[in-house]
């Protein structure tokens, strides 16, 4: 039964991906057909292939990559050694929508596009700074390395509270 789904009556159904949406406390199931999945993939690939004109002011070989990964999105910036932003990309800007923006797959696609842009600028060696607690942190770093960028260091700059704000009063039952 791999690849094919069957309903209760025993009829074969086409490949579908199911999404669960919670609306006003009720759980609704939205199923996507194979055709809809292919159209969505083509949209993302078209955004990835879109040419971006990047002209460096001078030859830059070293840079810094800032990966911000939240529960909802992954944003990656490439800066020069002074901190001036050269280029950036996010999962939403590439074409992922909704819950798909926060996936490791989306983060790896963002990192791949930025690695290609960095090659056009001339950046080969980078220092990576990771911020946030999302699921796309490691996959973004791995895809940067897989695209041929030489990673000098990886530093986690996620802000950590040192006892932070005052907590709520305890609930009396």
pLDDT interval class at 75 (50, 70, 90):
very high
Look at the block and give the residue holding tokens 């009829």: 11
CATH of the domain at 83: 3.30.420.80
Residue 149 falls within a domain, yes or no? yes
Q: State the average pLDDT for the chain.
A: 84
Look at the block and give the residue holding tokens 């690939």: 45
Based on the fold, state whether residues 27 and 100 are members of the same structural domain. no
Beta bridge partners of 145: none
Q: Distance (Å, rounded) from C-alpha 77 to C-alpha 167? A: 34
Burial class for 92, CB neighbours closer than 10 Å (0-12, 13-18, 19+): middle
Helix (H) or strand (E) holding 32: strand 26-33
- Region label for 106, one of left (φ > 0), alpha (ψ between -120 and 50) or beta (otherwise): alpha
3-state SS, residue 119: helix
Task: Give the pLDDT confidence of 29-71 residue by residue, as tens digits.
Answer: 666 677 777 887 787 777 766 666 666 667 889 999 999 999 9
What residue numbers bound the domain in which 26 lies? 9-47
Based on the fold, state whether residues 87 and 41 are members of the same structural domain. no
Residues near 58 by beta carbon (within 8 Å), at least 6 away in sequence: none
Based on the fold, state whether residues 80 and 22 are members of the same structural domain. no
Q: Which among 35, 46, 33, 144 has a CA at the least distance from the CA of 96? A: 46
pTM of the model: 0.70
Based on the fold, state whether residues 68 and 127 are members of the same structural domain. yes
């Amino acid at each position: 039964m791999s690849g094919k789904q069957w309903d209760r009556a025993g009829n074969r159904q086409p490949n579908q991906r199911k999404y669960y949406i919670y609306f006003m406390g009720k759980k609704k199931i939205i199923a996507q057909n194979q055709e809809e999945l292919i159209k969505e993939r083509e949209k993302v690939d078209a955004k990835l292939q879109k040419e971006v004109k990047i002209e460096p002011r001078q030859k830059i070989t070293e840079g810094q990559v800032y990966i911000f990964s939240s529960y909802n999105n992954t944003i990656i910036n490439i800066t020069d050694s002074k901190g001036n932003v050269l280029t950036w990309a996010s999962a939403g800007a590439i074409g992922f929508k909704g819950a798909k923006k926060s996936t490791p797959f989306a983060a790896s696609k963002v990192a791949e596009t930025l690695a290609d842009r960095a090659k056009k600028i001339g950046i080969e060696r980078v220092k990576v700074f990771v911020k946030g607690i999302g699921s796309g942190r490691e996959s973004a770093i791995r895809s940067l390395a897989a695209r041929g960028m030489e990673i000098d260091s990886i530093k986690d700059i996620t802000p950590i509270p040192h006892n932070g704000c005052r907590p709520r009063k305890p609930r009396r039952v």
